[in-house]
Structure 1
């Protein structure tokens, strides 16, 4: 693998100086093996197009039952696979749920095949064998040789356009297939409708409507070739009769200019010379075919593939350069690949003229801001958005504007929970958009006081939507009864934290009546604490605690992606009170210690097909986000050195510059954001606060180049793998006698120095 990465580095373009070229440390292959669920293909920072290879097509159901293999292919690519089906234009990065995979393109030569075949018999379809030895993955560039066809495929992107370059052998039977059947989270009825219009012998437009994880989703496209095709055709795979009424008078299989149906694959034929490059540009729009064509002509007016690649990589280098570190090679690769993954999502969701399809399924224009989608907020509120408030404050403010537009277009008048492509997927628990908004308000990152107050009003409205996920019972009783909700304890704890966020935002804005109400609601976590056992526990509607209760069981015990042992530590907004619930420092530290050192029983892994041993240290589940703040809780005890010890251990165990180097789903950048913060030496335990808990930095030196023109520098004295303990800390030359720094101290610029030791 080191050899592979070295080849990638040698292939990089020369930028201003070797020192400035941070792309050499980005390896998109990291996390493509096992459960990282990231894709290796080309994308721009926060780009609307994610152009990447898909290595298999997995049916959602087998014999009428859920197919667990679907979970492996959330990003469409698995490193251990031996074949590539094609290159599709939309992907989630690091999620635990599947969708997208729109508009798969595959170049072939020889006999035309219009089905993908199966991996066990690759020549049964248009898929091709490939080797990692001829595969290159860089920021905004992907290259692979399709061995069965001797075709070199290269991909790069702009924000809204995918650019393909295929180097063909000499052939009178060269094809480019456009597959409108293919999709991730693939089941037979996912396609609602597809439409294609062949405008001329180089331009094709169309759209695809799907009902997958997102129930009502339409994506429009415009595709243009660098060379005219001499013929084209389509094949339909609908279960119902393919042609209806008067359309049956035409031969629609061959050179017919308009195609429509639920399941279609098209092909475009060329004659090629040895080494000839056939290029195609593929633009997406959420609004119209005209919008897609406008995006295409605006972002890539010409055919210079190398120039587009250079511009895309320069954009990535600009983003990566916002943090410049000194560290060893592995740590640099982990760090800058984490920055790359962190800056993929959320994604731009509008045409170049600002048009986008709203949650109300009407067309809107973003006025004075960039509209975003792909909000995996249960994950990303914890560290990704706080990271943006430091490194991408203007972009994060636009993301909040996008959330408010979602709220205004929502029939439920709620902020997003898990939103993408004009859809609310209602995935996971809590209403964590309020955490993102409160964090920005607390840190002064909103356009105006009026805007901040409007955002707070949306938070309040969301928190009072009684029909949502047990919220009515939570408001009335202070907890969600176990018999009403399968994740009653998790939701109660998460609502309590979100309510605290609303209280902090209200306090910042001087709305003390709101502050008083939500400060009280923020204490509702105490209502599911059972002092007789020392754990958070499901509680029934009559006020009694549920009798059948196992602290290590995940399913049916009131928790989501965790158990009572994990969630009993989920009070990020009030660690001091949580320690008191445990009876003080000694018992609390013992519980924290046990989380990292205990051995889970086999039944824990057997309960659900989605749980593996990836990302788990003892009973600490780094691959599931509710644990991400836990190692920092020692800072509130008399043994803060254990935070330093634990976080450095997690960095080594859960991240590595290898294809399997992510210990769980990256979850739209949350795992990567945790790495970035922790490697720098501090972490936002409770977004909504202006404080960051101190840890143990893994870098030797780091400079944060802030949007306000100032620089915040982190330095370590006596850094080393064994020197994980912090002897003292100074801020701007003065001793720091607390275990946190503030947002203002970072944004004002200055120097934070950690003096490291091998002993605590």
Structure 2
């Protein structure tokens, strides 16, 4: 009987082990620390998909007085955090992900104990300030959750967030000298004079409100806040740094630095004092932001987070991430690839970010308050980067959001003086960063792919207006001459090529709407790339307004040669909308393939690296620069030749070398999700070479299988046969059981649902 009972117990345990459902959590594969080292420019803190709040630690170690926009050290801190830094300054509530420029870092908070210090100190001498040492051994980053031990204070800090509210949980030791610093002076890209004005008001013994106005990358930006503590503070105070204004006239009649209920100035640091008993519950704090008012910030907090249940907020946030990550369900050969894939999904879904209060009000480009009617308003459009793959990815897995993003762009155009679509916009500002008018690409791609929810005609009209805004970046000469002349406008070749592509996108829109005259006009404009191609040397090069080529010319140099963030070797291959014409310009298919081969195999002399911003060779294979966007489509151009297999091993190499499961795992700035979107598409086995077209070029999938549940209720699947680390080449491809005769699929093939099946091999398939 005992043996029989023991056998039953063993059977029960085995049934529990083997009968359990496998862990379906995709959140566990996300590592927010990837990209936080070197030049990935990502942040590790707590945020939800597309959330307004990005609550993250800042480790900026640059002395404030020496910070300026030309300092390469400032460039390292675009996201506020560098993995190799030894100290944390505090936790601020707004961050860009992966950008090549910095801003934000609003409302930094830092818990401390002991002697009160209102200066952040430095990494070399942290004891003179409120910053703290920390160790990665006592740091944890997950989607919607961040935790770290502040070693100098023996304080455990935990962060989580909802859309507009960040929640802090601080576990203090026993002390009668507990403080929480609120630094309104601190910020990312904090050059002298960035703060225009700050205001702080003590509403009661646990609620604080205020705002911050800055003139950083955004010329005029105002963010309002409401801060609520879970228990009353016993005292409070502040320090103002614009002393010449503080202690004159009326305000000099009494001390504003101690328990004074409100204060205004350019640069303010406030503190709130608490006592803590041994074993006391952690101190909680909620920080809510608003683009409109402090009343809006309070209302956002009351609506989204009316309670103090930290774990509930964390769990709800991680469920939101699980829902978003589940929009592509993959199986990989290597578990590291699972981490890379879902971390890429995570980074791709960090922005653009929601920019409106819970009541749908927001501040517009005209600095007036607007109501978003029947759409969610978004901000932070890094369009020079994201039009290439991120927004096309959204058209498959986030069509409703992408429609709202387009409505946000159209609202931006309506609020613009000349009806111009955004170039690079954030927080009710246009910062005019980079080139092209790539919002038209986003609109065209959504339109031809049938994304609903925005006015197609309004999209075309706004695109035409934007393309004819003659004061913008050489468009007047481009319209009159067919190209941008270098003697009148720098980066002229890059601008000509990108305007040509954007004009093609407008022609696609017009054709889709049946406007043949507009389509014909813009298709003709889209041929402008030929004006800057020098057939004698075989490169795109800068041309002067008199029609002559600019001298001297070096196709490998990135400076003063008519290009931006690239050289002629890179940009000569930027004609994504007409590869056939490009191939003919370059002497035919044989010559073109040789050019592509050379791009990936050549060795650049050291002198060409000495001028780069980060002075490294990261993100580069030969002269192919994966760490920068103009090259992202290039490897897929082999598909327009009879040797598409030459793309396949290179794609696999890029997937494996430019993306790694480590803090320094990104081969360049993630650029608000574009690098990650490239990875997602390429791992699935197809890529949108020319957004505005419904065509995708096939590559070399990294997945064993992928399942994409579509918003129309159908499912698209990718499967691979004989997948492996040493099988980068595609032997055959089948769509719903039918062999494909060319290395392309159409968007309708995806949206209709079905199965794309790759047969992989160790050797290239035979070519014609």
- TM-score under structure 1 normalisation? 0.97
Partner Cα distance (1:608, 1:439) in 2 = 33
Alignment of 1:272 with 2:279, yes or no, is no
Deviation at 1:486, TM superposition (A): 1.3
1:375 maps onto 2:381 in alignment? yes
Partner of 1:468: 472
Deviations 1:367-398 (A, max 9, x none): 00000000000000000000000000000000
Are the counterparts in 2 of residues 168 and 275 from structure 1 also a CA contact under 8 Å? no
In the alignment, which residue of structure 2 is the partner of 1:350?
A: 356
Q: How does 1:180-329 map to 2 (within 5 A)?
A: 180-238=184-242, 240-276=244-280, 277-327=282-332, 328-329=334-335
Alignment of 1:363-402 (within 5 A): 363-402=369-408
1:57 touches 1:182 (CA, 8 Å); kept in 2? no
CA distance in 2, matches of 1:668, 1:282: 24
TM-fit CA distance, 1:241? 3.2
Does the 8 A contact of 2:91 with 2:110 survive in 1? yes
Please name the residue that 2:14 is paired with: none
Give structure 1 stretches of 5+ with no counterpart: 1-15
2:754 to 730, 750, 756: 750
Which of these residues, 36, 53, 57, is aligned with residue 57 of structure 2? 53
Greater radius of gyration (CA): 2
**Match runs of 1:113-192 below 5 Å:** 113-192=117-196
Q: Distance in 2 between matches of 1:17 and 1:518?
A: 55
RMSD between superposed Cα atoms in Å = 1.2
Q: Which residue of 2 aligns with 1:504?
A: 508
CA distance in 2, matches of 1:742, 1:650: 24
Contact 2:601 2:623 in 1 (8 A): yes
Residue in structure 1 matched with residue 418 of structure 2 by the alignment: 412
CA contact (8 A) 1:59 1:187 kept: no
How far residue 178 of structure 1 moved from its aligned partner, in angstroms, is 0.0
Measure, in 1, the Cα distance between the counterparts of 2:390 and 2:22.
29
Q: What is the SS of the residue equivalent to 2:388?
A: coil
Deviates more, 1:353-362 or 1:738-747: 738-747
Instruction: Call closer, same or farther: CA 1:393–1:611 in 2, change over 3 Å.
Output: farther
CA distance, structure 2, for counterparts of residue 251 and residue 239 of structure 1: 13
Alignment of 1:661-700 (within 5 A): 661-700=665-704
Residues 296-305 or 598-607, more deviating: 598-607
**By how many angstroms is 1:608 displaced?**
3.8
Report matched runs for 1:77-116 at 5 Å.
77-116=81-120
Alignment partner of 2:434 out of 422, 428, 434: 428
Aligned match for 1:336, one of 329, 332, 342: 342
What is the deviation of 1:65?
8.6
Aligned structure 1 segments of 4 or more residues deviating by more than 4 angstroms? none
CA–CA separation in structure 2 for the residues paired with 1:559 and 1:48: 34
CA separation in 1, counterparts of 2:428 and 2:607? 39
CA–CA distance in structure 2, aligned partners of residues 180 and 331 of structure 1: 41
User: Aligned to 1:482, what secondary structure does the other structure show?
Assistant: coil
Structure 2 unpaired stretches of 5+? 1-19
**How far off is 1:245 after superposition?**
2.6
Instruction: For 2:401 and 2:685, locate their aligned partners in 1 and report how far apart those are by CA, in whole Å.
Output: 24
2:120 and 2:129 in contact (8 A); partners too: yes
Give yes or no for the alignment of 1:658 onto 2:662. Answer: yes
Instruction: Give, in angstroms, the shift of residue 447 of structure 1.
Output: 2.4
Q: Provide, for residues 74-120 of structure 1, a one-character-per-residue CA deviation record: whole Å limited to 9, x for no partner.
A: 00000000000000000000001011100000000000000000100
Q: Which residue of 2 aligns with 1:581?
A: 585
Q: Which residue in 2 is equivalent to 1:595?
A: 599
1: CA distance, partners of 2:201 / 2:67: 36
Query: Among residues 616, 620, 624, which one is paired with 1:616 in the alignment?
Result: 620
Whether 2:655 is the aligned partner of 1:630: answer: no
Partner Cα separation in structure 2 for residue 391 and residue 435 of structure 1: 18
Whole-Å Cα distance in 2 between the matches of residues 273 and 311 of structure 1?
A: 30
Secondary structure class of the residue paired with 2:609: helix
Quick one: distance in 1 between partners of 2:128 and 2:219?
33
The residue aligned with 1:6 is none
- Report if the CA contact (8 A) 2:45-2:146 is conserved: yes
Cα deviation, residue 440, structure 1: 0.5
Q: 1:419 to 1:65 in 2, by over 3 A?
A: closer
In the TM superposition, residue 56 of structure 1 has moved relative to its aligned partner by 1.6
- Residue 611 of structure 1, CA deviation: 4.9
Distance in structure 2 (CA, Å) of the matches to 1:236 and 1:60: 16
Q: What's the offset of the Cα at 1:709?
A: 1.1
The alignment status of 1:514 with 2:501, answered yes or no, reads no
Please report how far the alpha carbon of residue 167 of structure 1 lies from its aligned counterpart in structure 2 after TM superposition.
0.3
Deviates more, 1:301-310 or 1:58-67: 58-67
- 8 Å CA contact retained: 2:96, 2:672: yes
- Distance, in Å, in 1 between the alignment partners of 2:364 and 2:21 is 43
CA distance in 1, matches of 2:680, 2:79: 22
Secondary structure of residue in 2 paired with 1:295: helix
1:508-559, Cα deviation, whole Å (9 max, x unpaired): 1101010000000010000000000000010011111112000000011000
Deviation, 1:124, is 1.1
CA distance in 1, matches of 2:607, 2:151: 43
